[in-house]
Structure 1
Amino acid sequence: MTLVAFLALIGSLVVVHELGHYAVGRWFGVKAEKFSIGFGPQIWGRVDKRGTLWRIGLLPLGGYVQFAGDMNPASQADESWKQLPEEERNQTFQSKTLWQRALIVFAGPAVNFILAILIAMGFLLAFGKSVTQPVVDVVQPNSPAAVAGLQVGDRILTLNDRTVETFDMMANEVIMIPNEKIVLEIERNGARMTKEATVAAVIEVDRFGNEYRIGRLGIGASKLEIREVGLLEAPWAAVVQTGNILRQQIIGLGQIISGRRPISELGGPLKIAKVSGEAMSLGILTFISLAALISINLGFINLLPIPMLDGGHLLLYAIEAVRRRPATPVVQEWAFRAGFAMLAAFMIMVTFNDLASFGLFESG
């Protein structure tokens, strides 16, 4: 089940991502020579009437679209490209304007976000959304909330100057910031006041034995309110929900970079495979929820300004737009070599984390 779930999850998300590149490239008249799901030796392939090779590679950890004229990772034009007939040259990636190339590159991550939004819309339409008021019904003794002086009946207005609309919104914020200081603006009996607290760090263990370090304030809301979401409201509500998840991922990455979270919390393909199997065992809805989360993560990671990733290409295009000429081939080549080295080191690190989380390096 784990293997099937992992291949279904990664395969579908990679297909969606690469179809974004492919569709916008086709829209601008760029010929796609290869559409590959997975890397390495080909285990299946078929050439369509447009001359595109649709293939499946042996290693299912990604994919790519190779457009006509992609002679190297930086998609630089060379002398052989200049010698192509005009009609053939106009079908290459390099022949397109800067904004067209940027849109082709951006389309992959964008489609990952769109997929997550569509999934969120489906869940909102089917199950509604929580509109539980941010009013404290429970204060746990000796918790950070109790130490800060929060009381039953207090309404949370803001958390770190960010308006709190629902209890769930506040809870999702707190979960991401264990051991960090927060400032709450509350309303009590019509009067506004400010409270400061330090979020507690709690280790939670799920039914599969996975440990998660989360933030806990020590308050609760006992009156859960669910409201139906209409067809007109659902798209924007899904965008907001997706944006909140993306924001949490950005916060998490910032915490790891700044050292506030251990780097050991980063997971790789093995951890994703394990979680995929666990989600599938809990039912198709849980699996689809995980797919939306991983899709957002895939879009976010690909937009990081690292050469070899879509964000690295977009960064070079931004530099080209400012300088009004592209970076030299030597600069681009070294940038992509550095990007490849960074990604290789990252994959080794997260694989090590995965193996460590499975207890491979435990003594005795």
Structure 2
Amino acid sequence: MGILPDFGNLFFTLGAFVVALSIIVAVHEYGHYIVGRWSGIHAEVFSLGFGPVLLSRVDRRGTRWQVALLPFGGYVKFLGDANAASSAADETVMAHLSSDQKRHTMHGAPLWARAATIFAGPAFNFLFSIVVFAGFIVWQGLPADTPRVGAVHPMPGINELREGDLITAVDGHPVAELVDFYRLAESIEPAPSVPYTVERDGRSLTVQAPHPVPARAASITLNSAARDAGMQPGDVILSVDGQPVHAFSQLPPMVAAADGAPVALEVWREGEVLSLTLTPRRTDLPLPDGGFETRWLIGLTSGTFFDHPRRSVSPLESVPMAVGEIGGIVSNSISGLYHMVTGAISTCNLSGPVGIATTSGAMASDGIDSFIWFIAVLSTAVGLLNLFPIPILDGGHLVFHAYEALAGRPPSDRVLNVLMTVGLVLLGAMMLFALGNDLLC
């Protein structure tokens, strides 16, 4: 795959990127706007995009809502601001305002109001992600604890399991709950077929079916060797370099043994056998303890060859799960940055605008649900990035506010100007570095 998709898909990729970015920016800036309004700070302009204005209207509060030509960001300009970053006051404007009017500016409002308004941008990014993740959990439900067979996917070889079967044993080992089924699956030796004891129509039967976790692609990872080779969800790997494969557990050691060299796959897809060649990629994977492990991967996720019946989840139950999802994204992001800085993992793990745009297009092509989930993940990342204590970002402003709370006065204009310049240089360097990764890694 090249740096960008071919011309036929370029506009689709750019369109998906603009949509994703516009939603995230709108959420972020609306957080600044609405909390500022609640705090008594008047917003003069809410802009989605930069540059020449394409559409605009002024609401009854005097705020101009506009869409600008360049859709790669946005801003809220509050009363009295000298610029869209609210980094300095427009002294000419401030000089003509009364004391009561200055209270409605970012620079004349109480410290608590300014801090809340700044923090609201990243907070709304996180809140948006929570709503999306929780909505997915409620919509999709969670697998029921009972090891009952749902829809059965097509597979090569013998497959006598039927939808509705209750699995009571696998390969002679009893199964009581779904967790038992998955724990047992790890210890079952790979074989063309495995005996399952099931309850069906009031009778106990022993049937033959594939390994509980066969070499079937439940999903294809983005920017992976498997995706580049044309593999699709549902594909079943029959052999690797001529060696038969019956279980997913056989794949990691086979791929690792290739040590980065191309591997030849024989793949079953809807009754047809395909020959594919792909080159594993060295990938840094997060570990449960917060570290990273570097492995050769082809980019497949495992799964069973049948679905599990799902139970409904209440909105109240879904929120802690959604918060946990965000916690995992934040934890892995911070850990990844730390390990990149220390040199433990490759800096190629950091993507820039081209990488994000390409991923946006790939997720959009996978379906609207995948695209919405990706937007929520990216929204969490944007919220986290904006909390970094870098001048010009929201986190930098919050550091200035913390200094003001401790010192009893804000930093001097000279110090602010220097720090803002340093922050702009740092942010520009980070973006150039990430763009270099997109082009060179």
Q: What TM-score does the superposition give when structure 1 sets the normalisation length?
A: 0.74
Alpha carbons of structure 1 residues 272 and 141: separation in structure 2 relative to 1, 3 Å: closer
- From 366, 373, 377, the equivalent of 1:282 is 366
Match runs of 1:223-242 below 5 Å:
228-242=312-326
Output the CA distance in 1 between the equivalents of 2:305 and 2:404. 55
Counterpart residue number, 1:103: 116
Is the CA contact (8 Å cut-off) linking 2:404 and 2:410 kept in structure 1?
A: yes
1:138 corresponds to which letter in structure 2?
E
Output the CA distance in 2 between the equivalents of 1:59 and 1:236. 37
Output the CA distance in 2 between the equivalents of 1:64 and 1:259. 35
Counterpart residue number, 2:286: 176
Counterpart residue number, 1:11: 22
Output the CA distance in 2 between the equivalents of 1:286 and 1:42. 32
What is the deviation of 1:41?
A: 2.7
Runs (4+) of structure 1 exceeding 6 A deviation are: 141-144, 219-225
Q: Deviations over 1:195-225 (max 9, x none)?
A: xxx945123347xxxxxxxxx9xx9999997
Output the CA distance in 1 between the equivalents of 2:328 and 2:298. 22
Output the CA distance in 2 between the equivalents of 1:19 and 1:125. 26
Q: Which has the larger radius of gyration?
A: 2
Is the CA contact (8 Å cut-off) linking 1:69 and 1:75 kept in structure 2?
A: no
Output the CA distance in 2 between the equivalents of 1:200 and 1:223. 31
Is the CA contact (8 Å cut-off) linking 1:276 and 1:287 kept in structure 2?
A: yes
1:128 aligns with 2:141: yes
1:260 aligns with 2:344: yes
Output the CA distance in 2 between the equivalents of 1:36 and 1:181. 39
1:349 aligns with 2:397: no
Is the CA contact (8 Å cut-off) linking 1:136 and 1:220 kept in structure 2?
A: no
2:49 corresponds to which letter in structure 1?
G
Counterpart residue number, 1:49: 60
Stretches of structure 1 that go unaligned for 5 or more consecutive residues are: 145-173, 183-197, 207-215, 358-364
Counterpart residue number, 1:138: 186
Counterpart residue number, 2:49: 38
Counterpart residue number, 2:279: none
Alpha carbons of structure 1 residues 125 and 339: separation in structure 2 relative to 1, 3 Å: same
Match runs of 1:197-276 below 5 Å:
199-205=293-299, 228-276=312-360
2:296 corresponds to which letter in structure 1?
V
Q: Deviations over 1:319-341 (max 9, x none)?
A: 11121221111111111100001
What is the deviation of 1:126?
A: 1.6
Q: Which moved more, 1:317-326 or 1:78-87?
A: 78-87
What is the deviation of 1:56?
A: 2.1
Alpha carbons of structure 1 residues 106 and 181: separation in structure 2 relative to 1, 3 Å: closer
Output the CA distance in 1 between the equivalents of 2:341 and 2:307. 36
How much identity, in percent, do the aligned residues show? 39
Is the CA contact (8 Å cut-off) linking 2:126 and 2:383 kept in structure 1?
A: yes
Q: Deviations over 1:231-267 (max 9, x none)?
A: 3211222212221222111211212222222222211
What is the deviation of 1:352?
A: 2.1
Output the CA distance in 2 between the equivalents of 1:141 and 1:98. 60
Alpha carbons of structure 1 residues 251 and 48: separation in structure 2 relative to 1, 3 Å: same
The alignment yields a C-alpha RMSD, in angstroms, of 3.1
Output the CA distance in 1 between the equivalents of 2:70 and 2:183. 50
Stretches of structure 2 that go unaligned for 5 or more consecutive residues are: 1-11, 146-177, 188-248, 254-283
1:116 aligns with 2:226: no
Aligned length: 301
| 3-state DSSP of counterpart to 1:305 | coil
More helix per residue: 1
Alpha carbons of structure 1 residues 273 and 200: separation in structure 2 relative to 1, 3 Å: closer
| 3-state DSSP of counterpart to 1:116 | helix
Counterpart residue number, 1:322: 406
Is the CA contact (8 Å cut-off) linking 2:391 and 2:420 kept in structure 1?
A: yes
What is the deviation of 1:271?
A: 1.4
